[in-house]
Amino acid sequence: MVSALIFDVDGTLAETEEAHRRAFNETFAAQGIDWAWSPEDYRELLKTTGGKERMARHRDELGHGPSDAEIAELHKLKTARYVEIIASGEVPLRPGVARLIANARDAGIRLAIATTTNRPNVDALIRATLGADPDHLFDAIAAGDEVRAKKPAPDVFELALNRLSLPPEACIAFEDSEMGLKSAQAAGLRVVLTPSAYTEDGEFGSADWLLPDLSHPLPVEITRGLGQSDAIT
């Protein structure tokens, strides 16, 4: 029986990518930078994990733009704007997420987060959507700014496992992207994959379970722990 559920954040807990794209573009405009990422641009840029890394990639593709130090400052401004957008309540959780988190807590299944995004973004989303202190709701939180290598490297999932003091076979990961799937699998985790608006064209054949969202029947390994019978096998 599963002992812990480990969630990605962006695209998995909530469809946050449009809020990220908006925060990037508003930050660029406010700082006089003539970048404006379209949904198509951003879909391609999401293949590079990490906001600073996406900006650096875009700069390098153009052949000019902000320095690495300037990108770091831009990212701080972008994070502040993103937190404002999320705090306004514009971005809800995806279907089934709140119910699964509540049921897991009630059943004594531990909860964790393993995300490429930074900690302020995580805290803003959890407070805005679940009305809870993230450290009280989740037993472990591992964020992208705490590890050496971001997804698809396994570092952030390995950090979450370390903080849970659990082996990967005792846990199930929840992801929405190819990069996240590769990261979780490299850490030895089984994965429930729920494609998001920005990742729905991905290759997810290696996922252990593929669901439209978490309102659909869940793996029996999870439902057994929740004391439920409605499951997929």
- Residue matched to tokens 């992801």: 175
Per-residue pLDDT of the chain (233 residues; tens, 9 = 90+): 899 999 999 999 999 999 999 999 999 999 999 999 999 999 999 999 999 999 999 999 999 999 999 999 999 999 999 999 999 999 999 999 999 999 999 999 999 999 999 999 999 999 999 999 999 999 999 999 899 999 999 999 999 999 999 999 999 999 999 999 999 999 999 999 999 999 999 999 999 999 999 999 999 999 999 987 666 65
pLDDT for 1: 80
d(CA 103, CA 150): 30
pLDDT for 231: 63
pLDDT for 228: 79
Task: Retrieve residue 117's tokens.
Answer: 């995004």
Nearest one of 220, 230, 215, 229 to 1, comparing CA atoms: 220
**Which residue ranges form the domains of the chain, and what is each CATH number?**
4-15+92-226 (3.40.50.1000), 16-88 (1.10.150.240)
pTM: 0.93
Cβ proximity of 151 and 116 under 8 Å: yes
d(CA 170, CA 190): 9
Q: Which of the residues are catalytic?
A: 8, 10
pLDDT for 227: 86
